[in-house]
Structure 1
């Protein structure tokens, strides 16, 4: 394992610290759905004209989506973005037939947290709506999670800062790398060459110095 000097450890710690804010923002949690109209598992005799979701934190309306679908997965809610009033999102719906309807949502909040989920209600059936299957949940979730958002200004700044820090770490690690030893140690002679002998002028076959021409 390569030896890490104190300077290298400090450089690596700086890089980790710079990357921490983005990671914390992505993992922010804590906001939840607190109420809905219609309530969860409601059994209605008349169709509502809108649905509302109230949360424990203020949603970012530009980055939040909700939809209402029937049992066949057809959207019955307005294609427009939801309306924000305080911590409540509302969405107009147009329901003309009886059946089971699902509110599916993916909401991002102004503090960076996010949540998603669903609520069901029935209209004109007289029965509590059944729990959706996993396949229905996945299909409905695609309606509100397949949207794409651009990078927000804070995330863009963090990305630039992280890139600069990483570049600085690479430069500092190169500067603090120990210099390679280019001068190899000369081998130690086991005996002294007699006078008149040299590596360039080895002795003759009888051990006597060669005669220089």
Structure 2
């Protein structure tokens, strides 16, 4: 097992080197600033049934969690932080902080091989999203979590939705029925005026 863990770490080191090279030659067109990782998170504000939902999309499966291997975990953490924060447009998304939110992790699997929804590397994604200041502290009073898995015939990927708790019931019904449409998200992109009107009405 130690040999397999070493191979995983070597692969992650190689991935870090390749990502760094992609950015050094200027081939990364997904970022909003200078970065060292690739691919970036795809971040979009959506409007679903009249309320806002933020979607954070990440390519691939969550890496295997290796407890107590701090070098490996640091590489994983660095990737998700940089992929999120360096593609998040803070000027575009200057919105009020959401309170009492639910962070929904939707993991898409290319096949039906055993996959674990309870992968602890999710913490690094949530920590990165919290750093965008979309919501406040992620204690149990302010943030709940949910995990869902779906089969995808095209690729492995992760979609993370942040929705206000009061809209959870409505959004879950919508997500279960239309998750294929939500993956793309293009039809749900709101105007700035729609967002401003929603939050103005909430005051």
Instruction: Give the shorter-chain TM-score range.
Output: under 0.3
Q: RCO higher in 1 or 2 (8 Å CA, sep ≥ 6)?
A: 2
More helix by share: 2
TM-score by length of 1: 0.23
Question: Greater CA radius of gyration, 1 or 2?
Answer: 1
